[in-house]
Amino acid sequence: MLLSANSEELELHQITDVKDIPAKAANFTKCSLADCDLSGFRFKGILDSCKFTDCNLSLTSFQNAMLQDVSFKSCKLVGVDFTLVNKLGLQINFSECLLRSCNFNFLEIKKTDFSKCELFDIDFIGTNLAESNFSNVNFNSVTFHDTNLTKAIFTDAHNYNINPLTNQIKGALFSLPDAVSLLECMGIKLKP
């Protein structure tokens, strides 16, 4: 249902086809985008309180866009460079998503939810992920370096490679058997 739409703003709009987005639309407020193929789409302006569900966001650009309270559920995000977004008020969350070859370097994204996601070839270098939720995440070739993971949750997460000597992990929550990988970088071996 469209409550307000002009050439630059969409408010309270349900979008199921990229054709429903006006060519000049820059700002999205309380919009829900479901089952859309948004691959290669260029968002600009402000996305506030928006939800993406079952969308393909491969190679989507958020360059200079403000993402405030934006959530992605069951979406495919490939090659998205989140470092290009406007950092003011940045708040994003992911649930049950596939994220591949995405860049989160040097972002302040504390308390971000990545629960039940598949993360492949992702960079978290110099990223502040304090109190973030990585529960039930499957990691593959994910780089954590100089990352703040203080009080982050990794319960039932698999295949992560986190060096406690080069990342802040105080108060983070891990579960066995995968937590044993935290000892590998120190050359510590456990007897079965």
Query: Residue 7, Cα to own-chain centre: how many angstroms?
Result: 29
pLDDT at 20 over 80: no
CATH superfamily entry for domain 1-79: E3 ubiquitin-protein ligase SopA (2.160.20.80)
| Confidence (pTM) | 0.87
CATH match of 104-192 with 2.160.20.80: yes
ω into residue 177 within 30 of 0, thus cis?
yes
The reported pLDDT for the residue numbered 176 is 83
Q: Are 1-79 and 104-192 in the same CATH fold?
A: yes
Considering 6-10, 16-20, 113-117, 170-174, the range whose residues carry the highest mean pLDDT is 113-117
Listed by start position, the domains of the chain span: 1-79, 104-192
Q: How far apart are alpha carbons 151 and 52 in whole angstroms?
A: 27
- Residues 6+ positions from 135 with CB-CB distance below 8 Å: 115, 116, 153, 154, 155, 156, 157
